[in-house]
Structure 1
């Protein structure tokens, strides 16, 4: 990290009194509070958790664990002495299995009826299942993300109970089924969260993984909790994500990070100028050092999506091919929030509009949304996506060309009198009906309902005959066709 070393050197010249020292208190913390396990294969216990055999400063308040034979135990105020099955320090999640209660024949009932939040813990919401009840017809258990039936739950009006993956298509459920609860906490597992993509044709997830965790909740009542402590949680999470251990200095009353095998270095300055310089320089250094990694992560997400999307139309082009189609980006016809639009021509001389997406527009959501929503749609009132490009951080979308631009040009008085010259009341009515047909198709005609979220005159394009076409699906989302009503 040459940039970081240079930053530290500059700070030392600016500060009136700068020192680099190893804090004895911090070093003593890691000596006195080393990571522990109750068994060889049990979860590692480290700050903010501590075992009962360690001194109180080794853990945060209310986060004491203990050993019972080979098991790691957490005492929960509602569930009692629970076995800890896993701890995810980066995600602030702990999986626990409540004790077996012979008087309670339905472990899942405890996760539904009781308020399980305590001072330090609350049910995590990263991995949840929907509780679905059916009054007459059972659900085929071979469907995606369906686990059950849960035979121990009793309700006179509901005969069949299931835990359902919230991402499963609810339209496959029998008509008499309804969602009773959408937030049943199941055991957590650390994995890539493909929901960052906003939308994706099918959830890229192993069904067996959900089935296994949901089955554990049904049979054992196993669940997961998030933990929180105001002065340590965010600091420790950042430490863990950087591969560093987290500690706590009781004199300063704050958590801190320490790299494995390295001294804890503290940099202190006695003047406000030095502190400001430190903040600005470190921010710049961190930004420059992480920018390339951030871009690689975005590109990885996009490529995972494209792999799941498959090889169907529209066509995928290379960036040199896009440059040739867009005539080296010489004819710019528009500018939007996500990038610039250029006029171009396909090899078969079909005119097109090429939208180049800027690298600073989020994490690939706009690109993924457009390809996933309109890539396979063919409708007279929806702009057609003919191709796309994704090479590194360079991404482009290629649409059919709309020579009469957007509806915005014709309905606002500040854009001359062209609206009164070209658009008669009958034509305006035809345009409104066309937009309505396009919206109806998105909501009712597709395999999955598409919500556009950004319908406005600027996103209604007009072809040679002034027929309207809905465009710009960057904010769109797919919505399951559920007939199940919420209670």
Structure 2
């Protein structure tokens, strides 16, 4: 039986809400992400829908991504919202692409087109000129952005060397805003990194009537229809003064009161049937988190996807209630399934606790943009709160990993050297497509044997795009806030930016390590040595090539097999050069694999730290996706 005292409490509570139903807090609530400022008019927090009615400019929506407040004007550009000063009407932004970078590369011009934002007097403009083929003597370049023989430069806007046409002699010009107080007498070359990381300030304007509205305890709103300011009065009456005010009608108040009355009835029902009803509500609605709403909004902002979205019940039916498990990892489990039209599929069901959805978004957005014989096909996905699944074409022969190590050859027959070469070429063509063939350049960042799947004809297909990064085809260097990848395959510049910028050459490095592992695993090198560095296959194999020690290097192999193995070794060693600019692009890798051995030159010996020391330092430096013992090829 319902507690009488509780009912007595609810009745005045209802009357209170009815009396204050037209207050500004009910109409336009404030919000915030885990990290970042309070969000209110004229800004609003996207929850996967249109803005709250009349509560903000349509263009001023924010997202919560990994707890950070993100502003994306226009789509494709992302800025951290560092601070909002509602009194001075200014917003402090930091470009996502240059934040926390040791050698940032500004990618976007300022301003943002038609948005109602203007330059703050606190700002100044600086201009970057990238990849300049010629330049005046005595001008200092940005050393960490050197690309071959081409240099890049930065100037305070308008202070470029007079009489020299920078735009004509450089491939790209980008002008950005920074705070004036970040550029002091120390010099722009030393201070532009900190200035970009600090960001810039923009101002917005609101009508005078908004000031009057807020002074009378009202709340400003904005009509996208009339492009005019609105004033929501506190009590819905004439007591709210100020030009441009809009009183809530009696009908609106009635609707609000009716809604609160309905809410009151639901509360009473919950009290009466709380256990059963709360159980049902928890099952149906309780798992929809704010992060899930952010994912929905982010995916919606990317436009319509070319792949099908399944319900979880369809996924369950597809896999016959997850009857046949194909594999399992830190991400979740993979099950065999069938779409119903005799199309076998592999369904990856992600763990509910796996990250904040970034890997799921990466996978869906990146792989859905691809179509290539050497890229696994994503047929669909499921996203129902914490239930996330990906539906791929089924690869009958599983991953490359189980075919290149002797420990697995009891259950899987060894691949011929001709087949290994074909697989290496296929992977290279897939990467070349990701780097240059897509409308959007895709960097994979996790090339390794168990992410290469083999179809029934042993055609390789690159999979697992959870760590991928999409970027513009016109830019070679990308920005990342953290290291990503698997130890042993990660390019050195990914975790040490002093070595060079992160780019498609980072995938080239991972590919080179993969190719060397295909050779080393196939030969099953496992020597008893005292010096730990001697067990590191790239160093050992380079030494054997220098000594022309074919017997130790190749063993019992035919001449044709030796030629294939040596070609793969040379290509792999070129790909793992420490300096990213020394590594060949993937189109050149394909040419080397398809060409003759006589045309290949022996590369310089790559400088790589002692694996034991590097592993320990790396673990201290970055949050790794996984720590793999495969960093050493001595098995």
TM-score, scaled to structure 1: 0.45
Which structure has the highest strand share of the two?
A: 1
TM-score, reference length from structure 2: 0.35
